[in-house]
């Protein structure tokens, strides 16, 4: 296990709805005639930032980042980077950890790195995307909601690496499935789990076509075995009982997978299984050009099934 300690100054260089009670910060920058929204919620030693581009008068497709003891976990999307920078003004931090390289989690890296001497850490597979974000072709809906980030320079963070801040220690856990380069951060003394997009509340009925549902399930099982006392997700509300929330998510995905495989063995096609297991069509499918779909969820269960 490698240990990554704070910098020379000791670390003191400062889709979901946001939580109830969050304080809204007025936005000043216009994005295509719209305003970006940022809301801040303190949770004891952790500060949560919920960010979204505002379309039609409302924040759409929120993403979340956290500031704790000089460490920023994720940085939102490119459209909300100016708002995040303003919200962080005067707050000491010298490092960013990206849970994965999707554009709604690395969007302010480059801006913050240009203006404040911050170190960026991410899984080795994420580093090429951080350096050259446009190597990933974004669908139209992703460009609208999140946009292409500025390039940033990062260092590799491996499974089991320990990140030290003045008061806490965080263990990096490689948790692929949502993305091959996905990491969670676990603070064992406090029982904090920063889950990125591995855990998102609710009962998913669709999946992006490149996700690995069995990988997500295995990664969820891994973190569900930890003594988690507070779960900080990359979007969605903080669950009141994190152990129950993780166990319920594992059970939901496992039971759905068993059902998909059973229906396939009975001879049903993908479309019929999607209708049977996931229900009627959703507006999200049309809006994303079926990049995010019930069919994608079913096909991931079939394509990535253990032993296949």
Residues 159-176 pLDDT 10s: 999 999 999 999 999 999
Q: What is the pTM of this model?
A: 0.89
Q: What are the structural domain ranges in the chain?
A: 3-242
What's the CA gap between 104 and 76, in Å, rounded?
5
Cβ count within 10 A of residue 251 = 12
- Tell me the per-residue pLDDT of 184-194, one tens digit each, with 9 for 90 and over: 999 999 999 99
Residue 262: the pLDDT is 97
Residue located via tokens 């069995």: 214
- State how far Cα 46 lies from the chain centre: 17
Element (H, E) at 25: strand 23-25
Confidence at residue 16, expressed as pLDDT on a 0 to 100 scale: 47
Could you say which DSSP state residue 80 is in? G
The DSSP secondary-structure symbol of 150 reads P
pLDDT score at 32 = 42
- For domain 3-242, which architecture applies? 4-Layer Sandwich (3.60)
118 closest CA partner among 167, 72, 176: 72
- Residue 290: the pLDDT is 94
* pLDDT of the residue at 55: 82
**Sites in the chain below the pLDDT cut of 70:** 1-35, 307-308
């Amino acid at each position: 296990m490698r240990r990554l300690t704070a910098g020379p100054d000791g670390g003191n260089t400062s889709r979901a709805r946001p939580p109830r009670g969050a304080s809204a910060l007025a936005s000043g920058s216009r994005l295509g005639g719209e305003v970006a929204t940022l809301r801040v919620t303190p949770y004891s030693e952790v500060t949560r930032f919920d960010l979204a581009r505002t379309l039609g008068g409302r924040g759409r497709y929120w993403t979340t980042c956290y500031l704790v003891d000089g460490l920023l976990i994720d940085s939102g999307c490119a459209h909300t980077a100016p708002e995040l920078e303003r919200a962080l003004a005067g707050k000491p931090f010298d490092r960013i950890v990206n849970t994965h390289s999707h554009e709604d989690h690395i969007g302010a890296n480059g801006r913050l790195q240009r203006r404040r001497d911050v170190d960026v850490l991410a899984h080795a597979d994420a580093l090429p995307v951080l350096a050259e974000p446009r190597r990933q072709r974004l669908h139209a809906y992703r460009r609208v909601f999140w946009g292409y980030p500025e390039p940033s320079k990062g260092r590799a963070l491996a499974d089991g690496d320990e990140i030290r801040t003045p008061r806490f220690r965080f263990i990096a856990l490689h948790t692929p499935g949502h993305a091959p380069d996905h990491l969670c951060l676990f603070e064992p003394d406090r029982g904090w789990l920063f889950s990125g997009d591995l855990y998102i509340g609710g009962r998913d009925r669709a999946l992006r076509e490149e996700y690995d549902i069995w990988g997500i399930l295995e990664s969820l099982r891994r973190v569900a075995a930890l003594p988690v006392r507070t779960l900080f997700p990359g979007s969605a509300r903080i669950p009141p009982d994190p152990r129950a929330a993780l166990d319920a998510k594992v059970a939901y995905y496992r039971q759905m997978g068993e059902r998909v495989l059973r229906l396939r063995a009975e001879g049903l096609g993908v479309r019929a299984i999607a209708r049977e297991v996931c229900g009627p069509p959703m507006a999200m499918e049309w809006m994303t050009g079926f990049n995010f779909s019930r069919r994608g969820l079913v096909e991931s269960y079939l394509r990535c099934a253990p032993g296949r």
